Amino acid sequence: MTAVFDTNVYIAAIITEGICSKILHRARAREFSLASCPFIMAEIRFVLSKKFHLSHDEIASAIEPISEAIDKIIEHNLKIDSICRDADDDNVLACAVATKADYLVTGDDDLLEIKSYQDIKIMTPRDFEALFV
């Protein structure tokens, strides 16, 4: 089973102790395969820098458990346009397609309302965690 986490899941896993940190821990324990792409990794760094005002060193520390959890980062040229209202969400969806993910885990309502795309189930972190109980 392969999953892609949206940026908001990673940020929540770093900032709080909750469901998102729990599923990131599951990925680090290799209970499933976690995939990502350069777009999501760059977006994580951007959010940590601009929204949370973390320094370069703090960002490096915050990203370390994420890097440990991810099995593969896929470079791709896949373009998905106008599926979501936000072009960044289309990029996250493209990452899930390119990595042949089974699940896209997100807290973003725009993505969640799609429910599935090309056999990829789009679900909340809580619903994804429920797969393991």
Query: What pLDDT tens digit does each residue of the chain (133 aa) get?
Result: 999 999 999 999 999 889 999 999 999 999 999 999 999 999 999 999 999 999 999 999 999 999 999 998 988 675 766 665 666 778 899 999 999 999 999 999 989 999 999 999 999 999 999 999 8
pTM of the model: 0.90
**Domains of the chain, earliest start first:** 2-130 (3.40.50.1010)
Q: Annotate 79-108 with b (16+ C-beta within 10 A) or e (fewer).
A: ebeeebeeeebbbbbbbbbbbebbbbbbbb
Token pair 């990595």 is found at: 99
Which residues lie closer than 8 Å to 100 by C-beta, 6 or more apart? 2
